Amino acid sequence: MVQMTVFHDGNEQKFIEETGPRDEILYNLLLSQDESQVLIALYDQNDVLRYANKGWRAAYHLAPGEEVAWGALMRRNFEAGLGTVLATQNFDEWLISTQSRRGKVPFRAFETDVVDGRWLWMTETVQANGWMLCIASDITPLRTDDRRLRQDRDLALRASQTDELTGVGNRRFIMTRLEELTRRELPLDAAVKGCVAVLDIDHFKAINDHYGHQAGDQVLLDFARHAHSFVRRLDCFGRIGGEEFMLILPETPLETGIGILERVLERIRMARPLQNWPDLAYTCSVGITALRAGDTAQDLFARADLALYEAKLGGRNHISVI
């Protein structure tokens, strides 16, 4: 590891990044763009802002040298009526839906409005080490009808990737990310890292039968919200059908993945999702497997699903590993 120094208007901030000439070239390039009219920011693998030029800081109301998690910044600006224009009344639902897509693919481009009236074309480029470079250009002068068409396209794309009930990624989105995990081109001497888990709410049919399907939907929403709170920026979480969900943990050793899921299970055990039945508690079972050299997406899914089956047979409310 090497330590570099970032200067934000005279305030010194530590910037830790993996060593390598390409990283240093990128970073030095960023430092030269502080006065650029293009908005530039760099987020680390935990989605904490580590560099932003003056244009970005002005648009998103950041203090000089401030480092803040993306989700916390968006919440702060939403509550203050600043930054990005969000067409939602429920910020938490919007955040889960957006974080389900943010940083999950190597490159993404989309349009966004800011409250000062500007219309920005935003790109997100994710590096192999998980750092994400964001660049935004002002495209306000473009024709309004063209803008409307592109906004409709973006909304349609978002809907095609999102589970309608829970707001997390849907089966199509999560299975595409699983395919990408197994298709990565790695150096011959590189260690294969990553794991995949399938999570299933225990006795969900009984909840539906006893409390009704609306209550069942509330349990699904509660589960997705709690589980998603443990998802890191490079991870991917989605609903694959019914009460079954998948969590993809790239570049993650199996032991680390198990630790994350143990915290998920503990959170779910403490959850009380139904206001009309405050004593209702529920649990979930998990099957997890590590990525192996030569695995296909079908191989990973099959092993994780088999591990889930073993967790169910073993009494539920725990993690089984294959």
Other CB atoms within a 10 A radius of the CB of residue 89 amount to 7
Per the CB < 8 A criterion, the answer to whether 320 and 287 are in contact is yes
End-to-end CA distance of the chain, in Å?
33
3-state secondary structure of 89: coil
Distance CA 121, CA 138 (A): 6
DSSP output for 261-287: HHHHHHHHHH----TTSTT----EEEE
Distance CA 122, CA 115 (A): 15
**Angstrom distances, CA of residue 275 to CA of 61, 168, 219, 269:** 38, 23, 11, 16
- The number of C-alpha atoms within 13 Å of 12 and in the hemisphere containing its C-beta is 3
Type of residue numbered 88: T
Other CB atoms within a 10 A radius of the CB of residue 92 amount to 11
Active-site residues: which are they?
243
